[in-house]
Structure 1
Amino acid sequence: MKIKKRDSSAILNSLFGGVVPNRGIQHIMVGRADESRQIMMDLDNIKKGSSVVKFFIGPFGSGKSFIQGFIKQLAFNEKFVVTAADFTPERRLYGAEGKAIALYGELMKNLATSTQPEGNALPSMLDKWINTIQTAVMQEKGYATIEFDNRDFARDVEEEITNVVAKMDDLTGGFDFARILVLYFQGFVNDNQDLQRRCLRWLRGEYGTKTEAKADLGVRDIINDNNWYNYIKIVSQFVKQIGYSGLIVNFDEAINLFKITHPQAREKNYEIILKIYNDTLQGTLEGLYITFGGTVEFLEDERRGLFSYGALKRRLETNRFETTEYRDLSQPVIKLTPLKSEETFLLLQRLKEIHATYYEYVSSISDDDIKGYIQKEYNRPGAADHLTVGDIIRGFLHVLSILHQNPNYDRTKIFEAPSERVEKDIIFSRFSR
């Protein structure tokens, strides 16, 4: 298999740890061809000025986090800025005591671009933008070089920066956001790193009081529990202004919103989801793609799920003409099903190749061995109710490691003997679901 060492390392280490790889997902993407085409269509529409919200719904192990990781990788190829955050008891869309601003802070920490995919890309994005404007001003105004000590040059650059950020003044919070960007530029030009740090602190929502922010930066407001979503919208417009295709926000573990015990607190979180839904689909925003990963009960439970909130239920009910064979992937809710047996088989084939390529050996595991392993896993007591594709993947990687390091290991402990492999197609069809 032709795969970069860094990608194969990310895949193996992440899957061993039970998390989605940040790199190389295309090498292990199987069984999601229709979803992939829809995602590419969505990204193309966002580049042209639309906004989109999607809910990826499925049981544990159905691939919700994986498909969000796949969106991230596709988005980098299309020049998007991507960020993500998991909902937890301490991070919510709405919540007192800093729970909402904690979610915003996580999103800002995880801002990523194709050149900085691991996150914390905000400072480099700002510096790259300023350098681009300086180069453009130098060429347009006829300056010989980028002249930091030339007041006319600095004034021309600041004027151009102001022209860009002024387009956000009409957005709620846009004036202060623009003011911070101008201050960041001044710190950049004057090599005032303390000023730059204060600006980044404000942009990340780390100021606790307006008084402190006004003393440090002269702005009237701060990002807090009540207004953080407005600033996500501002960031989405800003990244468009500075040359990116748009902003993608992936929210995962939405079951933690379902688990909020206080009805009013839970409803307040669902109100934010309704606002996001309306903003993205009514044409009031450009360049924003927001996804939620959640279970079926998070969506459909009429006591505590999204369907308990009437306005969301009306908007998120599935197309009644949809079937398992004929799906409508353009609707906001996309229901994911676990991989079929043949798709799981193909995935394990690829993992075998990646493992052998990374550790530079020739694998002795045959296709029949892989089928035998899958059969044995699904024949274990309780597998029908509790076994996920993630469990199969981790187990198979452990198999690969054992056999690679211990060639004399008794394989019958792992794979079914040929005599035990009866009617493979029938057995495979039994656990295709």
Structure 2
Amino acid sequence: MALKIKSKEATAIINSLSGGVVPRIGVQHITVGRKLEIEAFTDALDDVKNGHSMIKFWIGDFGSGKSFMLHLLNTVATKQKFVVANADFTPDNRLYANDRKAVALYTAIMDNVAIHTKPEGGALPTLLDKWIEQIVSKTAQLNDIPITEIRDEKYFNLIQNNLMQTVNEVTETGGFDFGVVIIKYYEGYIKNDDYLRRSALKWLKGEYRTKTEARQDLGVREIVNDMNYYDMLKNFCRLFVSMGYSGFMVNLDEAVNLYKISTSTMRAKNYEKILTIFNDCFQGKVSNFFINFSGTKEFLENERRGLFSYDALKTRLETNKFETSEHRDLAQPVIKLVPLNHSEIFVLLKKLKEIFDLNHDVNLNITEQDIQLFMEEMFNKPGADEFLTPREVIRDFLNILSILRQNPDADKRTLISDIKISDERPDENAIDSIEEL
């Protein structure tokens, strides 16, 4: 059966995977071997819809599909009317800091807010506009004002009061300034004042560096900072739910960058923040919030630098002692991604060949036997058992397809036989030799 895939999705898949990164859209078309994980995730989403909150840690080796999994979770969640956001930990983005590195993570999250109709991110203005329209319509209905007249300047205070009332209902910390900024956004929205609207967005996304600048532009006393950004995320979660969304899901990838923090004190502070979020989720201190972390086994289990170095997290995240490879517990906070087997990779490569042909409007002469030959060549190379990752298999396969498309006379069997295996994994263990400050 031919794949039903949009041209935009096909292009995103081929271009992204050829570059060794996960496509932001269309991942559902190339999903294989994750049925149990998706079923467990869907069950967790149902709980979050009903007012609970959840935290999950997706653990796997380098190139095993952690980032792919997070993007797939986005697709599943947006279809169930969740607002979602992705961000990567980097040396300049973390959960705890006193030099704007935590608010930098917050800004990355807010930049990447996505909904079903805007899956590639940048949906925060769309959501705010939608919320304002809801308040405007509600105000008109409650006060028996024709919808064609409600935007008249004489009703501005009425709408403003309703906006602030809603903000007060959904915010706990920083509600006053949050409300003032929302009012400023509305004012810019209704008066077509782009500067005021952009200034309000700038504040909401944590981009103001000084209180003075924010006060001059918006008349507020505070800005989003390293200490209050988590409260702002919770405020937005409640706001999104008040609009009719199921909840807010945040995916944080490349958690190994927390493991790489050189000082033990700063690492512990970041792990303490994870503990705070964990406790908030499981003790009911936050509702309709789902947060996912992805990282390597070292990030989780290394008892000198990983999460297991923080005793309170270790006791919460240790694997169910009754779990086996045959009987898995996918309801626990930590889900370890099992590598795809050869049959699943074969199915994946068949799908990629079909998508490649659709994207480039070709029909390359690559048969199932050729794909089988390619896999045998890849997996029988010296070092394959130790070094080979799905990412490298996919990239090499697409590179061969690209050569054949542009060079029809090229011999596919020669290309396949020329494959070489290299170790692309970062040396996380070498970090342990770094002297701590």
1:116 aligned to 110, 115, 118, which one?
Answer: 118
> 1:151: how far off?
4.2
Q: Does 1:390 find its partner at 2:378?
A: no
In the aligned structure 2, how far is the partner of 1:228 from the partner of 1:379?
50
Contact 2:170 2:242 in 1 (8 A): no
Separation of aligned partners in 1, 2:243 and 2:165:
12
Bigger mean CA offset, 107-116 vs 6-15: 107-116
Aligned counterpart, 2:94: 92
Supply the distance in 1 between the matched residues of 2:151 and 2:234 (Cα, whole angstroms).
35
Q: TM-score, normalised by structure 1?
A: 0.92
| Stretch of structure 1 that moved more, 51-60 or 107-116 | 107-116
For the 8 Å contact 1:54–1:290, the answer to whether it is kept is yes
Aligned position for 1:206: 207
Which of 125, 128, 149 aligns to 2:127? It is 125
Structure 1 moving runs of 4+ over 6 Å: none
CA distance in 1, matches of 2:65, 2:270: 24
* Mapping 1:278-427, distance limit 5 Å: 278-415=279-416
Whether the 8 Å CA contact 1:134–1:146 is kept in 2: the answer is no
How many angstroms does 1:221 deviate by? Answer: 1.7
8 Å CA contact 1:168–1:175 kept in 2: the answer is no
Q: Residue 23 of structure 1 aligns with which residue?
A: 25
Please give the alpha-carbon distance, in whole angstroms, between the structure 2 residues aligned to 1:210 and 1:291.
Answer: 32
Q: Aligned-residue CA RMSD in angstroms?
A: 1.7
Q: Which residue of 2 aligns with 1:191?
A: 192
Partner of 1:10: 12
Deviations 1:93-121 (A, max 9, x none): 11232111111111111111222222222
Letter of the 2:192 counterpart: D
Provide, for residues 367-415 of structure 1, a one-character-per-residue CA deviation record: whole Å limited to 9, x for no partner: 1211110110112222111110010001111121222333332232145
**CA–CA distance in 2 between the matches of 1:149 and 1:403?**
60
Residue equivalent to 2:428: none
What is the aligned partner in structure 1 of residue 432 from structure 2? none
Gaps of 5+ in 2: 418-437
| Deviation string, structure 1 residues 294-341 (Cα, Å, up to 9, x no partner) | 000100000000000000000000000001111001100000121101
1:95–1:149 distance in 2 versus 1, CA, 3 Å = closer
Does the CA contact (< 8 Å) of 2:96 and 2:270 recur in 1?
A: yes
CA offset digits 1:173-229 (Å, max 9, x no partner):
223212221222223223333222221111111222223323332323211112211
Q: Which residue number corresponds to residue 431 of structure 2?
A: none
The one-letter amino acid of 1:204's match is K
User: 2:73 aligned with 1:71, yes or no?
Assistant: yes
What is the rounded CA distance, in whole Å, between the counterparts of 1:412 and 1:71 in structure 2?
37
TM-score scaled by length of structure 2: 0.91
Q: Which one of the candidate residues 144, 150, 153 is aligned to 2:152?
A: 150
Q: 1:202 touches 1:223 (CA, 8 Å); kept in 2?
A: yes
What SS class does the counterpart of residue 77 from structure 2 fall into?
Answer: helix
Identity %: 48
Offset at 1:13? 0.8
* Displacement of 1:152: 4.5
2:48 to 24, 46, 49: 46
- Sort the Cα spacing of 1:403 and 1:194 in 2 relative to 1 into closer, same or farther, 3 A: closer
CA–CA separation in structure 2 for the residues paired with 1:332 and 1:145: 48
User: 3-state SS of the aligned residue for 1:56?
Assistant: strand
